[in-house]
Amino acid sequence: MYYKMIKHIDEKYPSMGMVEVRASFFLEVGDEGYDKYMAEHFVTVPVFPVGGYPGKVDKEGTPLKIEDYNTWLNSLPTVQRLNPFCNHAIQFEGNVTSEEILTAFDKAVEITKQNYIVDDLHCKTVGQKVNADIGYTKRKAFYKVAVDTLVAKRTPEMVVAVDKIVVATDKVEELKTVDFTTISITHEVK
């Protein structure tokens, strides 16, 4: 099993002093569950030409004659593609290191593979928690109040929260310069 870090930054987390990192998970030949994975995720997809559908469309881009569109679509060449069996996102504090990110995804790989085999990708099994509970709703509300409060009236906790936003925003900019899509790390899963 291996995963690829994907370059997707959810812009809502820096406003709460956090960053989110995502990865796509893939099985390899010989992994338990590989046959199931190939049956579900090895797909044939059309190759769309530059410019898309050449027929007449309405102002929203919907083909005027669906029969003509379907004929065109069925005439396109196809390729086979192996999709990931799972994508996983983990939220981190803004001062996270690359090593901490990889350690979290190593743990996620182990848990996700076990859960995929038993058709439980939602990690419902007791004791299998990858993401920490960040108290999303309360955290979001607190950070909004901290930012909206005049600087002179901020509590020490609010000052810390605003500082965390700056750190997380800087970390997001740093992560944007890393081409995560080219990083593929294979892990031995026991």
- Structural domain contains residue 132: yes
Average pLDDT for the chain: 82
Q: Which is more confidently placed, 67 or 183? A: 67
> In this structure, which amino acid lies at residue 9?
I
Q: Tokens for 189?
A: 């899963």
pLDDT score of 9: 64
Q: Which domain holds residue 96?
A: 2-27+85-186
Instruction: Report if residue 155 sits inside a domain.
Output: yes
- Give the model's confidence band at 188: pLDDT under 50 very low, under 70 low, under 90 confident, else very high: very low
Whether pLDDT at 121 is above 90: no
Those residues whose C-beta lies under 8 Å from the C-beta of residue 138, and which sit 6 or more positions away, are none
- Is 109 inside a domain boundary? yes
**Residue 37 near residue 85 (C-beta atoms within 8 A):** yes
pTM of the model: 0.68
pLDDT at position 150 is: 92
Q: How many domains does one find in the chain? A: 1
Q: Sheet of 184-186: strands edge to edge? A: 86-93, 18-26, 2-6, 184-186
3-state secondary structure of 92: strand
Position of tokens 């076990």?
Answer: 114
Count CA within 13 A, CB hemisphere, residue 166: 8
The DSSP output letter for 181 is G
Map tokens 């996620």 to a residue.
Answer: 108
CA angle 20–23–25, rounded 5-degree value: 150
Residue 141 vs residue 100, higher pLDDT: 141
Highest-scoring range by mean pLDDT, 59-73, 105-119, 133-147: 59-73
Asked if pLDDT for residue 126 goes beyond 50, the answer is no
Q: What confidence score (pLDDT) does residue 74 get?
A: 94
Residue 89 lies in a domain: yes
pLDDT of residue 163: 93
Residue 63, domain member (yes or no): no
